[in-house]
Amino acid sequence: MMTTPEPIRRFIEATNAGDSEAVLHTFTADASLTDWGRSFQGRQQIARWNQSDNIGVNSNLRIVRIAEVEGSYRVRIAVKGNGFNGEGDMTFVLDGHRIASLVIS
């Protein structure tokens, strides 16, 4: 498996540690996040998603596989917690050391 890019690794570690501030700081200020068609723009809206769908439901994430595809990273994630449980795909677009876009499908 390829080496996990640092912003993605920090996002997963912060989620698993329950560290909301660290999760938000993995994103650019104007990042976008789409979770099964629901869209969130900027850190303030991503903070709401984090409370309703991520740390707020005690999500624990584990990378199953990761691949670089046309400038983005497609990550198969195994999720456990008090919300969604199972596997899903996260597609990350990075901007330097932060996440510019995350699409969950």
How many structural domains compose the chain? 1
Assigned domain for 94 exists: yes
To which residue do tokens 């984090």 refer? 50
Assigned domain for 59 exists: yes
Q: How far apart are CA 84 and CA 10, in angstroms?
A: 21
**pLDDT tens per residue, range 13-69:** 999 999 999 999 999 999 999 999 999 999 999 999 999 999 999 999 999 999 999
Check whether 1 has a pLDDT greater than 80: no
Token pair listed for 32: 């976008």
Q: Which domain holds residue 31?
A: 6-104
Amino acid in position 74: R
Assigned domain for 1 exists: no
> Tell me, what CATH number does 39's domain have?
3.10.450.50
Assigned domain for 72 exists: yes
Strand segments, DSSP code E, in 17-105 are: 27-35, 38-41, 60-69, 72-80, 86-95, 98-104
